[in-house]
Amino acid sequence: MIVQAVKWIGDIDGYLELVDQRKLPIEFATLQCRDVEVLFDAIKTLAVRGAPAIGVSAAYGLVLALQKPTDNIEKAMELLTKAREYLASSRPTAVNLFWALDRMQKKAAEVSRASRPRIAGKACPELVEGMPAPLKAFREAILAEAIAIHREDVEMCRRIGQNGQKFIEEGAGILTHCNAGALATGGQGTALSLMFEAQRNGKKFRVYADETRPLLQGARLTAWELMQAGIDVTVICDNMAGWLMKQGKVNAVITGADRIAANGDTANKIGTYSLSILAREHGVPFYIAAPSSTFDLSTKSGAEIPIEQRAAEEVISFRDAQAAPTGVGVYNPAFDVTEARDIAAIITERGIIEKPNIERVSQHLT
C-alpha cells in the first residue's frame, strides 16, 4: 500500500488528515487538522513536509479557514486572505506553499467577483440568514480548487513514475537519498514514484535508502513508506554508499530535487553531490526525478544557487541523543549541487531530459 500523506475527508465542512511524520517510523499516527492553527503548527513542526505535500495541505488550509462562521463572501474573503498570510509564514522558503496559496487566492478572487449580487453594477455583500447559497457555492469552489491542486499533484507524481520506468531494470539495486516519496507529495512521490510504478509493473528490485543525516529522512521516512508498499528496502549509513557501489550492488541512483538550474545543475539534499561523484566513479547512472516546476530558469547554473546553512543542533544531536560535544563547531549545509554533467537524465511529468544541458532543458520546458 502506498501511503497517502495528505487527505481531505468530507465536504466543505470536512477536515484535513495528515500522516504525522514527526512520529515515524516509531508510530504511525494521523493528525486531524480542523482549523488553520493546527495546520500551521503541523507545517512548522514538520508533521507534514516535502514541498508538494505542503502546497497541497496549505490549499486545503484555506478551505478550513472558510469554516469559521461568516455571513457573506466579502467576510469570507477576509478570512481567506488572513489565513493565506498566516500559512505563508509557516515555512518561509517553501516555493510550493506560496504557489498553492496564491493560486487559491486568485481562484477565490475570481469566484467572489462572479458570485456576488450586483446592485447598480456594483458588487455588494450578501445579507441572507444562515448560509446563503452563493457563499456555499463560493466555499465549494474553493474546495474544488484545492482538490484540483491535489489531483494535479497525484497525476504529476504518477507521470514521473511512468516516464522513468525504463531506468529501473528487473533485478536492479536502486540507491536513493532523503525522501522524495509519497510522504513528500500529495501523490506517490517523485523519485520513489518510479519504484511504485516498477512494482505495479511486476518488476523485482531492491532499494537501498541512505539514512540521510542529519535529519534521517531516508531511514525514517523512505524506508518506512517502501516497507508499507511491500518493496524490498535496505537502509545504509550515508558513508556506505561508495562501498556498496564498489560491490556492484547499485545499478542506478535516483533522487528528487529541490531546485534545478537552467543548465540542469541540481540542488538536492546534502550528500547528493557526493553520490553523483561516487556513481560516476563506479559507472552507475545517476537520475533526478522532479516535477517541471522544480526548474528555476532564472538560475543559470548551480553556482548561483545559495546554500542554506542550518542549525548546528541538527548535527550535534541524533534525535534526542547527543552525538557531538556541546559547543563544537559544525558545518551543516542543507543541500548541495550536483553538476548536470553527472546526471544521466532528469525525469519530469513531461518526459525525460537525457544528458541535461541548457538547450535540452529549455526545449523540454517549452
Binding segment (CB under 8 A) for its own copies, from list 6-14, 66-74, 130-138, 313-321:
313-321
The number of residues that bind its own copies (CB under 8 A) is 54
Does the protein bind its own copies through residue 329 (CB under 8 A)?
Answer: yes
**By C-beta, is 326 or 366 nearer to its own copies?**
326
Residues in 186-215 that interact with its own copies by CB under 8 A: 208, 210-214
Q: Are 271 and 311 in contact, with CB atoms under 8 Å apart?
A: no
Q: Are 174 and 195 in contact, with CB atoms under 8 Å apart?
A: yes
Count other C-beta atoms under 10 Å from residue 263's C-beta: 22
Residues in 82-121 that interact with its own copies by CB under 8 A: none
Q: Are 347 and 360 in contact, with CB atoms under 8 Å apart?
A: no
Kindly state the cell numbers that stand for 295. Answer: 526548474
Q: Contacting its own copies (CB under 8 A), which of 119, 202, 325, 366?
A: 325
**By C-beta, is 144 or 236 nearer to its own copies?**
236
**By C-beta, is 23 or 34 nearer to its own copies?**
23
Question: In residues, how long is the chain?
Answer: 366
Residues in 278-307 that interact with its own copies by CB under 8 A: 278, 281
Does the protein bind its own copies through residue 320 (CB under 8 A)?
Answer: yes
Helix (H, G, I), strand (E, B) or coil at 254: strand
**By C-beta, is 236 or 358 nearer to its own copies?**
236
* DSSP result, 98-118: HHHHHHHHHHHHHHHHHHS-E
Q: How far is the CB of 339 from its own copies (least distance, A)?
A: 10
**By C-beta, is 76 or 231 nearer to its own copies?**
231
Q: Contacting its own copies (CB under 8 A), which of 36, 53, 223, 361?
A: 223
Map grid coordinates 536502486 to a residue. 174
Binding segment (CB under 8 A) for its own copies, from list 4-12, 131-139, 162-170, 268-276:
268-276
Is residue 303 exposed (0-12), middle (13-18) or buried (19+ Cβ within 10 Å)? exposed
Q: Contacting its own copies (CB under 8 A), which of 277, 292, 293, 350?
A: 277
Cα torsion angle, 257, 259, 260, 265, sign: negative
Q: How far is the CB of 246 from its own copies (least distance, A)?
A: 7
Residues in 243-262 that interact with its own copies by CB under 8 A: 243-244, 246
**By C-beta, is 153 or 258 nearer to its own copies?**
258
Peptide bond preceding 132 in cis form (omega within 30 of 0): no
Kindly state the cell numbers that stand for 71. Answer: 455571513
Cα distance between residue 28 and residue 343, in whole Å: 35
Return the HEC string of 225-236.
HHHHCCCCEEEE
Does the protein bind its own copies through residue 237 (CB under 8 A)?
Answer: yes
Angle made by CA atoms 172, 213, 340, in degrees to the nearest 5: 60
- The H or E element containing residue 80 is helix 73-88
Q: Contacting its own copies (CB under 8 A), which of 19, 39, 219, 290?
A: 219
- The H or E element containing residue 39 is helix 36-44
Binding segment (CB under 8 A) for its own copies, from list 84-92, 106-114, 141-149, 317-325:
317-325
Q: Contacting its own copies (CB under 8 A), which of 62, 143, 262, 270?
A: 270
Among 48, 58, 93, which Cα is nearest to 335's?
A: 93
Among 95, 183, 110, which Cα is nearest to 144's?
A: 110
Binding flags for its own copies, 129-168, as an x/- string (CB under 8 A): ----------------------------------------
Q: How far is the CB of 191 from its own copies (least distance, A)?
A: 16
- The H or E element containing residue 150 is helix 133-163
What residues are labeled active site? Answer: 258
Does the protein bind its own copies through residue 355 (CB under 8 A)?
Answer: no
Q: Contacting its own copies (CB under 8 A), which of 139, 159, 220, 360?
A: 220
Binding site for its own copies (CB under 8 A): 25-26, 208, 210-214, 216, 219-220, 223-224, 227, 232-244, 246, 270-271, 273-274, 277-278, 281, 315-316, 318-333, 336
